[in-house]
Structure 1
Amino acid sequence: MKYALANPIKRIKREIVAPQFKITKQIIGNLYSFKNFLIGRNHKKYNKGVFVWDVRSNSVTFDFAYYILQIVNQFNQIGYKSFDLILFCSPRLLAKGASCDWNEYNKFVSNEEILSKIEKIILKLANLFEYIDDIKLINTKQELLNLTKDSFILPKNYDPTFFYPEGLNYKYLFSKLMDEEEIKVPFLKLNPKCFKKEYTELYKSKYITLTLRDYGFEPMRNTKQTDIDIALKLSKRHSAELVIIPDNIDLIEQYEIPDSVQVIKSAREDLLLRIGIYSKSIVNIFTTSGPSILPLFIKRSKMIVLRVACGCDGDNVNLYKKTLGISPGDQPLLRLGGYYLWNDLFNNIDENTLDFAFKKISDYSQEKNLKIGINEIN
């Protein structure tokens, strides 16, 4: 993600400590690697691995799940089966970070809202992920240095003062998924808080979820009335109910939603409830949005994303090619139970298109499970 800084001096400093460009990352990364080589700092010296998630250079979004997927596999490659997580964040640290320049994103999301998302999204997800032994929320550099002095740290060459690059390398991650290399998936550990008594009958039933998006930022990615209509048709085809998880509660009235459709407003804010609902659904449908990542890390869940690369600043073909290394037609998430309905390839999405994607995921899951001698569990 590129950031906007008006002051050229601050922009240069920012690029040194948290580089955004490939060439800068390589040069500075090599310098720190050489320094660590000279002082003998390598993973073989330490018994514990630590991932430092720094609010100054990492997005406070559901992409956090991708961070964990990447870090789990990076640690696994060098012999660490699990690791500790440090969330390095505070209002002061956030203020020192640069603001996002994607279509004036900061006009829609304040720093206060970003900090609240650390508690509502990042911390809650971290407590559910496999392979994380301990989680600490740290807000001072000295405390961070004291906690990590005897540990091997990722991101590579991380230093809270001089070098705190973004931890997530989308191209690295998506190339592993596309090449079907062996990959360790950190699933979310569902606990009783994910399931509420008032939805016991729902959990026992057969249903499909549609998660709405009606955000002010990049409205091209928002849910359309036709999305609700075709999701309802798909649910009837499979003799299932349709469950809707809303976005902006105040805007729910703009949609025409039949009485037969259950709208669970509390799942908008209750992340654990949302995860529990996704886990029992036969398939979860989204537009391109953060919550679409969640089912990928729930065992045996399925998800479909509509109109991928719809053409806006944060969701277009060039961005997918440059940042993720994928193009229309690629299905990097299929092995995790996800399917992209690319905007350029599926112009008129209807219930048949959704059913096509659903069957693609089901067929892939069946084939994968047969290879290891396990029958698919629906």
Structure 2
Amino acid sequence: MGGATLSYLDPGFGIYVHWPFCAAKCPYCDFNSHVRHNPVDQPRYVAAFQREIQQMRAKTGPRSVTSIFFGGGTPSLMEPQTVDEILSAIGRAWDVDVDAEITLEANPSSVEADRFRGYRAAGVNRVSLGVQALNDDDLKFLGRLHSVADALSAIELARAIFPRLSFDLIYARPGQSVGAWEKELDQAIGHAADHLSLYQLTIEQGTPFYGLYKSGRLKVPDGDHCADLYDATQALTAASGLPAYEVSNHAVPGAESRHNLTYWRYGDYVGLGAGAHGRLSHSGGKTGTVNRRLPEHWLEQVESLGHGMESEERLDTEAQADELMLMGLRLREGFDLSRWRDLSGRSVDPDKESFLVSHGLLERLGNSRLRCTPAGMLVLDAVVADLAA
């Protein structure tokens, strides 16, 4: 099965590999990422990934892998040999499609040509760069270790080495006008290949930005201004041939992230590494897996038990239906109503649907699918809460 055959009815099977280490912790980040001042023992971690892969293979049985994603943390701090050995172990455990999408996240500050060529030789065919801003002052504000010049150099290098490239930007930054964002986004589109991820800055509890925000020392745009920034983002990307296919992701049609589509279409995926989550089908439903968050605890548990799982939970049909709806409404294609009905045992509440449709937040695609309108995407969490209640 090749990537071109994947659809919401056949979302594929993905492998997520979490590399939890960073050179520095960004003040907005609440991901499971950690700074270690002593060198990470990469061969020891490789051995642990190999053991965990064997355990997960026993759970999934034979499957055809359509995508592999190295996330973090900062996977570009991994040696190419580390990536190669993990990919080799995945290839021994499962049948990896000949055209599987294999993505690695990279920070511009940790990019080297030899390292990129090493990742490509290992099998990586898509890179996702954490650029975040094309403004040096804002890069410093966001705690990034690279400059705009570093970012543009990394983009140029990645385009030369990898068949596919995406990069991230964060907008709705303090004091950012619509005009300034449009100018920055236009510059980004000029450097983009076929995919962009564009996220609004969110203030997450437990981060340094949260403390600054609560104390009044960090001012973020209000809801109306964020909506204006979002509308400008949709208009400019669509006009440039990179329409949104998900609330924060934009691509040339056909160049969407296959791996992330597997999540949003509620397919199966294995989570490997510290803090990784997984969703695996079995007779009668799905199981959710969650690994231990702290890298050293995950490592020690894998070495002693063969896996790093903290919990493994059978999801009841209601939980599965809720997840299907939650993930599917993020997508421009929406979610399949018959699949939701098969899971939940009921139809979507017609009164709730009618209310959201009448307010221009939801729309039907024929009789088979339901999706958010562009206006609904702006208040996605509220739409999901209303429809699922």
TM interval, short-chain normalised: under 0.3
Give the TM-score of the pair, scaled to structure 1: 0.28
**Greater share of strand:** 2
